[in-house]
Structure 1
Amino acid sequence: MAVTGDKQEPPPVDEGVLRPQPTSEGEVEVPYSIYTSKEKWLIVAMVALAGFYSPLPANIYFPAIPTIARAFHKSNDAINQTVTIYLVFQGISPMLWGPISDRYGRRLVYLVCLSILVASSIGMALCPTDRFWLLLFLRCFQSGGSASTIALGAGVIGDISTSRERGGYFGMFNLGPMLAPCIAPAMGGALSQGLGWRSIFWCIVIMVAACLLCIALFLPETLRSIAGNGSIPVPRRLRAIVPLVGCKATQEAFDPESRTKPKHSVNPFVLFTYPDVIVLLSFTGIVYAVNYTITATISSAFAKNYPHLSETVLGLCYLPVGAGMIIGSTMTGKMLDWEYARIKANADDKFTIEYARLRIMPFYLILFVICVVAWGWTIQAKAHMAVPLILGVFLGWTSMGILNSTMTLNIDILQSRSSGATACTNLVRCSLGAILISVIDRMVNAWGDGWTYTFWGGICALLLPLMFLEIKMGPKWRMKREAAEKEQT
């Protein structure tokens, strides 16, 4: 019997009008989703845009910290409390919103979260400089509104796609949340220097309001317990104002039975008891934390070692990492889909989703470790700045390759709880990122950049056995869990 991550594997979907595909017995098989491939890409593009605003408020804020400290008559360390509290709520809030969206729908939670982000950003733009406590308070809500868009987007992708196509969609989706840390610092520095620190928050308001309008107008409800494969009419409050997608499906593609049985909101912390999920979370969290630490310290590392650079040029130094992330997302997404189809076609009944997703992981991980170590020694040696910039491209590429693979597999094995699964991922990686950011300066001061990043590169190298453990034991753990869940229903 084949071991896969999906209960149902529909045939490929026509690019034009979606039509049911006949099975070998001549029966008509209803598609997993009524949306055509182009419509799915449009949906993924919308949720990727929303995902861009998850890390944006954190990273666009960094260049303005000294200016805000002077405005509020506080030290930089005091203003850094707003960064810490943001990371805390960034990790916690998806644990609330993710399960709610798995129960009550994606669209409504999107609208609520983005509205909170807009309102809190307006408050921060208008915050009096003698009310530092209010800045901290609003920062909590800003984080709570923005952080959950990643978990929601993962839920949408799990709703509309099967394992054979999910890698490409997840690759595109990850571009949003991964590009923001590279683009936002340059934006924040330019806005703060040219228009003042309040302009940063007004910029967030304008950008998020445009995204909120796009979601309200065009995003359909995709939760399968409500909309099924997209064919089931949903309550008016959950409908897109302008039904841009789903209009080309034929009547035969509609299937009320595709609606899954609604479940009570599952406590996402239960996922931490699943050994295969713990392995994936460890992998994702450590790689993300190391990569995020390098990204967050690019400007300070370059300013220290290349003091002739202006603030504008320092902001531009983030772009090579962003370019690498674009390459990584595009290549890895297509490669994951290609590997899935190839391995499944050749494996017969021995196919496992874990092997299909993680087979190319050793290449990415080894190259990532080499780049991390090389980054540290390059910075310490004050090599020509072209060298760390080139390394930044490879760091962005390999980190996205690793994260796309592990997060796609996480959705594969927990498809019915995709938002909760991504919320757990977010909690782990934000927590590890916050810890690493808090200690990296002390490590660099004590050990130097070279040995510091050699240490973290070695930690990442130790993840390789975990990957082989997941490939070998993951299917057994998953089948045992699914059998236990089936007995309970």
Structure 2
Amino acid sequence: MPSPVRTQPEQSKNQLRVDGDVLPTVESATSEDHIDDKENKLDENNADYGEPDKPYSVFTHGEKRIIIFCAGVCSFLSPVSGQIYFPALNQISADLNVSYDLVNLTITTYLIMQGLAPAFIGSLSDAAGRRPAYIACFIIYMAANLGLGLQNNYAALMVLRCVQSAGSSGTVSLAQAVAADIITSAERGVYVSYMSVAPQAGPSLGPIIGGLIGQYCGWHWIFWFLLIVSGTIFVPVALFFPETCRKVVDDGSVPPPKWNRCLTNAIRERRAIREGHTIPWEGREELARARSHIRKLPNPWESLKIVFTKQAGFIMLYAAIVVCGYYAVASLIPSQFGQIYGFNEIQIALCYLPFGFGSLLAGLVRGRFIDSRYRVHAKRRGLPLEKNRNVDLSNFPIERARLEVAIPTLAMAAAAEIGFGWMVQAHVNLAGPLIFLFVIGFCASASVNVVQVLLVDTFPGKAGSATAANNLMRCWFGAGVTSGVIPMINKIGIGWTTTFFALLPVLFSPILWYVMVNGPKWRKEYREKNEQKAAKKQAKADVAGEKGIQGKS
């Protein structure tokens, strides 16, 4: 994986430049607090990193595409691990001698952990880098799959599925964070949509793979299969995936700490040294920077704090409400299609294909619409449209530019969910529900893509934590829906159940207008509040420094 090294002939080796300011070296600094203060300033000012007059990232267009593709493949593990399990529920229930409801409860706990774990992983990646977080996720995930392949106990199944969820779910927030590291707002829609192609294939491929393996090899082999796939992905990621976190490598030109370098980093740096180039920020400054990141432990409160910010909380709440309909439809298919159409595991699994194809198509085409609306608003305000240049979004209506694209698909998704539910209840020909499943998959995925892009735009310095916060809301709402949809169907029927979940986004749609009108003001207030906090912190540090000097004298 490419990781460019940029020479800096004008910068002294004893200086460290962050966001245009020169920081003192380790020799001249009294402590590492000054470095931490500068990084906090980068984090909290809520602006894209980098200077407007230089490229946002040194990675080329081709290199960005490779990095984004790899991040997308890694995030494939989370949805496929959840969906691959569905067709084997009846078989697991019989083998472990527990009720179907108890086995279905493992799906709920999986979703709960899927929402919680990224809060830790996102915080870790924002502080220490993306590579360490990826490696931690893969190790946890592979260990869980090994245990699941060996166990024959319901309690072990419940616990290990939670561990499996913890390992796989972090890759989703990491993928969004990587996109924020190397992609500007002007081109973010296309790249994020391309990156979502692999994970959005999970809902269709997972059930098919799970159904085939469960029927011919037994349900234990589902987890052996996931272990093999994750190991195959992990090896090239560990060897070649470059560090992209802007706190660690800036625009990609700064070498990460030695413990965080991939094989490509080492090869390029040795080649640069042989050719007589100067590697920027090499030496003691780099070690000080590394120490300042290593000592920061994962802080899940960063994600929870984002949930309660106005500029993110309202839109994440609405996105979670939208996803409720998606989860309701997906979770009712195994039981209802088995009863109504008499399908076995493989036939049920094949019914998820339209779902997945719709999501796949959304990933391929949605990004261009997102970026086109951004260009329209940028031209109205005279903003530059260079794709690799940073643009100040402080006074830009990014909420309107993004959410305008989602409104048509939200309306279509609601209509399709209502139609799907009543057709299944009426036992119509299977072709009708499958067509509506395709529409639901496309519209729901396209709408979620918009929210993901908007969150990265709003919190560029905390993309991992922001995506984790969104994942927390989405998965916990989904867990509630998954556990409650079958009892609702037993009480009021399939048609009224899907109608209820479809009308929720319509009922709460004024939230979109509220966010579009007030979003720029909220972002400004948030930035000013953090600037005041940073100023107070710096003032305290200055006073402490003066007291220290006086004490020595």
Change (3 A) 1:82 1:404: same
Q: Please, which of 140, 149, 170 is the counterpart of residue 125 of structure 1?
A: 149
Change (3 A) 1:252 1:447: farther
Q: Does structure 1 residue 53 correspond to structure 2 residue 98?
A: no
Asked if structure 1 preserves the Cα contact closer than 8 Å seen for 2:48 and 2:461, the reply is no
Q: How much has 1:361 moved relative to structure 2?
A: 2.0
Name the structure 2 match of 1:167.
189
Q: Please, which of 181, 198, 214 is the counterpart of residue 192 of structure 1?
A: 214
Could you state the TM-score of these two structures normalised by the residue count of structure 2? 0.79
Count of equivalent residues: 464
Identity %: 32
Task: Give the whole-Å Cα distance in 2 for the aligned partners of 1:242 and 1:162.
Answer: 24
Q: Does structure 1 residue 401 correspond to structure 2 residue 425?
A: no
Name the structure 1 match of 2:318.
283
Name the structure 1 match of 2:517.
472
Task: Give the whole-Å Cα distance in 2 for the aligned partners of 1:255 and 1:346.
Answer: 39
SS of residue matched to 2:493: helix
Change (3 A) 1:315 1:93: same
Change (3 A) 1:343 1:277: same
Bigger Rg over Cα: 2
Q: Please, which of 443, 465, 479 is the counterpart of residue 420 of structure 1?
A: 465
Name the structure 1 match of 2:401.
356
Change (3 A) 1:417 1:195: same
Asked if structure 2 preserves the Cα contact closer than 8 Å seen for 1:34 and 1:254, the reply is no
What are the equivalent positions in structure 2 for 1:305-324 lying under 5 Å apart?
Answer: 305-307=340-342, 309-324=343-358
Q: Please, which of 200, 203, 208 is the counterpart of residue 230 of structure 2?
A: 208
Q: Which amino acid aligns with 2:77?
A: Y
Q: How much has 1:409 moved relative to structure 2?
A: 0.2
What are the equivalent positions in structure 2 for 1:135-174 lying under 5 Å apart?
Answer: 135-174=157-196
**1:454-481 residue CA offsets vs partner (Å, 9 max, x unmatched):** 1111111123211111110011001110
Q: How much has 1:115 moved relative to structure 2?
A: 1.1
Q: How much has 1:342 moved relative to structure 2?
A: 2.4
What are the equivalent positions in structure 2 for 1:379-390 lying under 5 Å apart?
Answer: 379-390=424-435
Task: Give the whole-Å Cα distance in 2 for the aligned partners of 1:431 and 1:325.
Answer: 21
SS of residue matched to 1:221: coil
Q: Which amino acid aligns with 1:221?
A: E
Asked if structure 2 preserves the Cα contact closer than 8 Å seen for 1:289 and 1:430, the reply is no
Change (3 A) 1:310 1:10: farther
Q: Please, which of 97, 113, 119 is the counterpart of residue 95 of structure 1?
A: 119
Q: How much has 1:30 moved relative to structure 2?
A: 2.6
SS of residue matched to 1:136: helix
Change (3 A) 1:139 1:485: same
Q: Does structure 1 residue 325 correspond to structure 2 residue 356?
A: no
Q: How much has 1:401 moved relative to structure 2?
A: 1.4
Asked if structure 1 preserves the Cα contact closer than 8 Å seen for 2:50 and 2:251, the reply is no
Q: Does structure 1 residue 233 correspond to structure 2 residue 268?
A: no
Q: How much has 1:360 moved relative to structure 2?
A: 2.0
Task: Give the whole-Å Cα distance in 2 for the aligned partners of 1:220 and 1:389.
Answer: 41
Name the structure 2 match of 1:341.
375
Task: Give the whole-Å Cα distance in 1 for the aligned partners of 2:268 and 2:110.
Answer: 38
Q: How much has 1:488 moved relative to structure 2?
A: 2.0
Change (3 A) 1:440 1:134: closer
**1:311-360 residue CA offsets vs partner (Å, 9 max, x unmatched):** 32221111111111111111111111122122201234774111111112
Task: Give the whole-Å Cα distance in 2 for the aligned partners of 1:78 and 1:447.
Answer: 22
Asked if structure 1 preserves the Cα contact closer than 8 Å seen for 2:324 and 2:501, the reply is no
Q: Which amino acid aligns with 2:72?
A: A
Task: Give the whole-Å Cα distance in 2 for the aligned partners of 1:10 and 1:322.
Answer: 40
Task: Give the whole-Å Cα distance in 2 for the aligned partners of 1:326 and 1:61.
Answer: 20
Q: Please, which of 406, 413, 416 is the counterpart of residue 368 of structure 1?
A: 413
Name the structure 2 match of 1:15.
none
Q: How much has 1:425 moved relative to structure 2?
A: 0.8
Asked if structure 2 preserves the Cα contact closer than 8 Å seen for 1:5 and 1:163, the reply is no
Q: How much has 1:272 moved relative to structure 2?
A: 2.2
Change (3 A) 1:188 1:253: farther
Asked if structure 2 preserves the Cα contact closer than 8 Å seen for 1:373 and 1:453, the reply is yes
**1:195-246 residue CA offsets vs partner (Å, 9 max, x unmatched):** 1111111100000001111211221001101000000011222122235999
Could you state the TM-score of these two structures normalised by the residue count of structure 1? 0.89
Task: Give the whole-Å Cα distance in 1 for the aligned partners of 2:73 and 2:371.
Answer: 22
Task: Give the whole-Å Cα distance in 2 for the aligned partners of 1:289 and 1:168.
Answer: 26
Asked if structure 2 preserves the Cα contact closer than 8 Å seen for 1:299 and 1:317, the reply is no
Change (3 A) 1:288 1:46: same
Q: Which amino acid aligns with 2:159?
A: F
Q: How much has 1:303 moved relative to structure 2?
A: 2.3
Name the structure 2 match of 1:38.
62
Task: Give the whole-Å Cα distance in 2 for the aligned partners of 1:139 and 1:210.
Answer: 21
SS of residue matched to 1:54: helix
Change (3 A) 1:253 1:306: farther
Change (3 A) 1:447 1:115: same
Task: Give the whole-Å Cα distance in 1 for the aligned partners of 2:50 and 2:246.
Answer: 16
Name the structure 2 match of 1:24.
none
Q: What is the CA RMSD across the aligned residues, in angstroms?
A: 2.7
Higher mean C-alpha displacement, 406-415 vs 347-356? 347-356
Name the structure 2 match of 1:458.
503
Q: Please, which of 129, 133, 137 is the counterpart of residue 113 of structure 1?
A: 137
Task: Give the whole-Å Cα distance in 1 for the aligned partners of 2:90 and 2:235.
Answer: 33
Change (3 A) 1:71 1:360: same
Q: How much has 1:300 moved relative to structure 2?
A: 2.6
Task: Give the whole-Å Cα distance in 1 for the aligned partners of 2:139 and 2:192.
Answer: 25
Task: Give the whole-Å Cα distance in 2 for the aligned partners of 1:169 and 1:85.
Answer: 32
Q: Which amino acid aligns with 1:166?
A: R
Task: Give the whole-Å Cα distance in 2 for the aligned partners of 1:6 and 1:348.
Answer: 19
Q: How much has 1:370 moved relative to structure 2?
A: 0.9
Which consecutive residues of structure 2, in runs of 5 or more, have no partner in the other structure? Answer: 1-44, 384-394, 535-553
Task: Give the whole-Å Cα distance in 2 for the aligned partners of 1:470 and 1:148.
Answer: 27
Q: How much has 1:310 moved relative to structure 2?
A: 4.2
Change (3 A) 1:84 1:464: closer
Task: Give the whole-Å Cα distance in 2 for the aligned partners of 1:77 and 1:203.
Answer: 25
Task: Give the whole-Å Cα distance in 2 for the aligned partners of 1:48 and 1:304.
Answer: 36
Task: Give the whole-Å Cα distance in 2 for the aligned partners of 1:316 and 1:357.
Answer: 34
Task: Give the whole-Å Cα distance in 1 for the aligned partners of 2:382 and 2:46.
Answer: 15
Asked if structure 2 preserves the Cα contact closer than 8 Å seen for 1:39 and 1:245, the reply is no
